[in-house]
Amino acid sequence: MKQLFFLFAFCLSIYSQAQFNIRFVVNQVPTKANEDIYIMGSFNGWNPKDEAYKLRPFAGGKKIIVVKNLEPGNYAFKFTRGDMAKVESTADGRDIPDRVMEVSADFSYDINIAGWKDDYPEKPKRYSASPQVRIIDTAFNMPQLQRTRRIWIYLPKGYGGSSKTYPVVYMHDGQNLFNEQTAYAGEWGVDECLDTLQKKLGKEAIVVGIDNGGSHRMKEYNWYDHAQYGKGEGQAYIDFISQTLKPWIDSKYRTKKGPEYTAIAGSSMGGLISMQALMYKGNIFGAAGVFSPSFWIAPQIFTEATKQQVPEYARFYLYAGGRESNTLVDEVRKMVDILSKKSNYDIRQAISPIGAHQEQYWRNFFPDFYTWWSARWPE
């Protein structure tokens, strides 16, 4: 019996270390058949134009790609023509749910794409930002990166009629925070959420949204160099927020300036850079909202977190969804375990078994993050 047990354990170990190759053959596309097609999914951080995941021409006008070395587990994916606005859709232009595959062996998928989202222009998206939201600048200077960026700000309803000072949370991917018109994958609804939540809690804060840099996003939100995406610009990006943007905000608006009243938050790559910001600039940011962090692209962060010491008021909120990738929940739990060994840190772990890598799930958990963070403001 003992020999059988060890044989089973050995076989299980071999399986858990196995990697498989999945072939995708796109047999039919409705329009624009000559344009490049990419596959994006939980295996590449949902990058819609990842050159390593571009399909190549195949016999009979088909297109093909082999995604190699996937570990066993469930993965979600979709096809695009290089942009989130050009993602696949139903034949009449409606959104489709993520495609899902279970990887347990080498396999081949034959796929027909029914439609492209940009072939079916929707009614003009409504401007959904509340009156509390305004655009500070469409081209705010980023001297650390020699670029410019659109910056948004949300002010609490009571801001104009009071002399109070307010905590501030800095958030990435500003296009998706407040306004359906600018959101490329759905908006978080941060303004509507806070209009309601702040009244309920009696705790108000300012939110500053920083647009992502499009093609620069993968570099700006990564601390480390990456063979595929290039030199990491995360430190320069966080230096921009801490050395340029935050001082400007503090000079123009009534803010509580200390780290105990300053948070930084984002999702996916934005979750990754928020985590790194708190580790690097704990004297500036006292809390990080780390939603679905792309730890896969920067495994060095686990070693860094083991060595790093940040001020004792550091607060980490880590969220992961069970339908995002085969590894994300385990990676978040691994990070929580590392941080938990440092007794001075305040940590909240939130896991949604049904959570996918989408704005609607981050929107659902933003109130939990805000409630948790605001409860820790010094009185």
State how far the Cα of 147 lies from the Cα of 234, in Å rounded to an integer: 14
Query: Which H or E element spans position 21?
Result: strand 20-28
Q: What CATH number is given to the structural domain containing 93?
A: 2.60.40.10
Q: What CATH number is given to the structural domain containing 151?
A: 3.40.50.1820
- Are 148 and 263 within one domain? yes
- Are 165 and 93 within one domain? no
Number of domains comprising the chain: 2
Please indicate, yes or no, if residue 360 is contained in any of the structural domains.
yes
pLDDT at 122: 63
What is the per-residue pLDDT across 362-379, written as a single tens digit (0 to 9) for each? 999 999 999 999 999 997
- Are 97 and 196 within one domain? no
State how far the Cα of 60 lies from the Cα of 29, in Å rounded to an integer: 13
What is the per-residue pLDDT across 27-56, written as a single tens digit (0 to 9) for each? 999 888 889 999 998 888 889 999 999 999
- Are 100 and 144 within one domain? no
- pLDDT by 10s per residue, the chain, length 379: 444 444 444 444 444 468 999 999 999 998 888 899 999 988 888 899 999 999 999 998 899 999 999 988 888 899 999 998 899 998 888 888 889 888 999 999 999 999 998 888 766 678 889 999 999 999 999 999 999 999 999 999 989 999 999 999 999 999 999 998 898 778 999 999 999 999 899 999 999 999 999 889 999 999 999 888 899 999 999 999 999 999 999 999 999 999 999 999 999 999 999 999 999 999 999 999 999 999 999 999 999 999 887 777 799 999 999 988 888 999 999 999 999 988 788 999 999 998 988 899 999 999 999 999 999 999 7
- Are 164 and 35 within one domain? no
pLDDT at 9: 45
> What strand order describes the sheet that includes 73-80?
38-41, 73-80, 99-103
Do the Cβ atoms of 223 and 276 come closer than 8 Å?
yes
Do the Cβ atoms of 358 and 322 come closer than 8 Å?
no
Quote the domain boundaries for residue 100: 14-119
pTM for the structure as a whole: 0.77
Amino acid at 192: E
Residues 6+ apart with CB under 8 A from 64: 23, 24, 25, 26, 55, 56, 57, 58
